[in-house]
Amino acid sequence: MNKKFLMPVFILAIVAMFSACSSGLKPLASSYIKATPQPLEVVAGKVPVTIDATFPEGWFNKNASIAIVPVLRYNGGEAWGTTYNFQGEKVAGNGRVVPQKNGANVTMTSTFDYTPSMAQSELYLTFQATVGRRTVNLPDVKIGDGVLATSTLAYAGFENPAVSVDAFQRIIKEKYEADIMFIIQQAELRSSELKKEEIEEWKGVVENVNMTPNQSVSVEISAYASPDGGFELNDRLAAQREKNTNQYLNKELKRMQADAPISARYTAQDWEGFRQLVEKSNIQDKNIILSVLSSYSDPEERERQIRNISSIFSVLADEILPQLRRSRLTANVEIIGKSDAEISRLASSNPRALSLEELLYAATLANTVDARTAIYNTIIQIYPKDYRAYNNLGTIAFESGNYIDAEKFFTFAQNLTGGKSPEVNYNFALMALKAGDQQSAQQFLGNAAGVPELNNALGLLALKNGDFNKAASLLSGTNNAALAQIMTKNYSGAMNTLNGIQTPDATTFYLKAIVGARTNNINNVVTYLQEAISKDRSMADKAIKDLEFAKYITNPQFLNVVR
């Protein structure tokens, strides 16, 4: 260095030193200051720091006022923290008084808004000091290097959006019922009952199903007796009603040439049917009857107690009991839907031949994204008021990283449902998390109850909010889940999660390299960084600046990978 240049610099340093000394304030040594954590770390988009400082005995001038501000300096800018004011014993002001004789230990906290450039940064304490009316120049003190930003790898794109499902059923089950009524204490089938409209319609259903190729039917007979009259009588009566009904149905099915299996049973005293009819009735004091039913389990005692209520029993005999003397016919119909092959063929050749649910199901059978997209676009043309195709097109766009189109389709779906679809609200929550809007995400998730993926979005929200333990308990199977485990120092769990990801991306391997660095495994660091960089070249520059790999910055193997 030129001696002519060196001499003025030396003189200025001497002048500054004597200026500080003459004021009674000396530069505060870095050994008296400790910043925590070290290095600094991003939590919920912020960089918090706690600074413990000691003013040693005799250091603080009684007439001094000092404003201390932490500042984080990085390439292209700097961020200033909270100002803390301290003053000597003879100063009138609002700062904290520091005794000259004993000195003091102080704690200062600050939070900086994170920006990626802070990965390579330096933390300083700055001092603005006066003694009396004189300004004293105290040098900045460096107290930290860099910001660890691993938590910022959390990303909404690692989570699966929620698909709107179809209601397609291969076999649709339907049930048709009709009652044949009997006279008290009789089991004969009356022609007036057999010819009534209800029975004719029921037989028509069975006959039509039998003639339809993709439908089948089975028949149940349930014969009953009312609970009055004693068990033995009712048992014989109900059994005979079942027998007579069974013979009649077998004859009718043979006439219709209907191949429908019949199962039959009877109930001697239909107390359950009795209770249901009483509950639905407008009988005065019906609660008394219901109380008797719940108080007595013995059938004979039940009947005796009810008969004792003479004012009510006559109404029961007229309105309730006759409805229990019956044989109930049940036709169990199964409608067998189209095969997967037929649905797939029609979806491409004649989509209007399929129902909405069949078309939505057809999309799940498609082997390519383009095929699924084509089916959903067809659904929109044929059924423009159904939100599900719009939502599912949004999920396809989201998974491909086309977030502009994803938001467009989710908005269409949201408008069609009036904001009431849980899966659409879930997908908007993912969009909000991607944009860093945790507050909106929380609101959307509040309307996403029942969505299978809900825990993962809640876990991602917790991860972005810095609640790493909660995030680790909720997330599973994704890069975000592994990141939460890394942040809670569960490195074996993180590696297991990362190994289980079926389609690993650059971040998957980068996280594996971080686990390698934290467990001092240079081979894993090198191997997985190579994989990450092969998928995304920008990972090389990221790794060079990342404090996770700071201890390997001079390692030849590491340098060979990242350069």
Evaluate whether residue 451 is within a structural domain.
Answer: no
pLDDT of residue 205: 95
**Below-70 pLDDT ranges, the chain:** 1-24, 310-311
Tell me: do 127 and 184 sit in the same domain. no
Q: Give a three-class secondary structure readout of 132-149.
A: CCEEECCCCEEEEECEEC
Q: Are residues 83 and 221 in the same domain?
A: no
Residue 328 shares a structural domain with residue 189: yes
84: CATH: 2.60.40.10
**Within-domain flag for 231:** yes
3-state secondary structure 76-133: CEEEECCCEEEECCCCCCCCEECCCCCCEEEEEEEEEECCHHHHCEEEEEEEEEEECC
Q: What is the pLDDT of residue 24?
A: 66
Q: How far apart are CA 501 and CA 507, in angstroms?
A: 11
pLDDT at 23: 55
pTM higher than the cut 0.85: no
- pLDDT attached to residue 180: 97
Are 200 and 325 within one domain? yes
Would 254 be classed as within a structural domain? yes
Based on the fold, state whether residues 39 and 178 are members of the same structural domain: no
- In the prediction, which pLDDT does 302 show? 84
pLDDT in tens, 73-110: 999 899 999 999 999 999 999 999 999 999 999 999 99
**Helix or strand or coil: residue 225?**
coil
Answer yes or no: do 274 and 178 share one domain: yes
pLDDT at residue 307 in the model: 80
229 and 268, same domain (yes or no): yes
How do residues 285-317 score in pLDDT, each as one tens digit? Answer: 788 888 888 888 887 888 888 787 766 777 888
pLDDT for the residue numbered 423: 98
Domain count, the chain: 2
Contact 238, 224 (CB under 8 A): yes
Please indicate, yes or no, whether residues 31 and 135 belong to a single structural domain of this protein: yes
Name the residue range of residue 215's domain.
171-282+289-299+319-336
- What whole-number distance in Å separates Cα of residue 558 and Cα of residue 552? 6
Q: Tell me the per-residue pLDDT of 460-498, one tens digit each, with 9 for 90 and over.
A: 999 999 999 999 999 999 999 999 999 999 999 999 999
pLDDT the model gives residue 297 = 83
Same structural domain, 257 and 185: yes
117-130 burial: b if 16+ Cβ within 10 Å, else e:
ebbebebbbbbebb
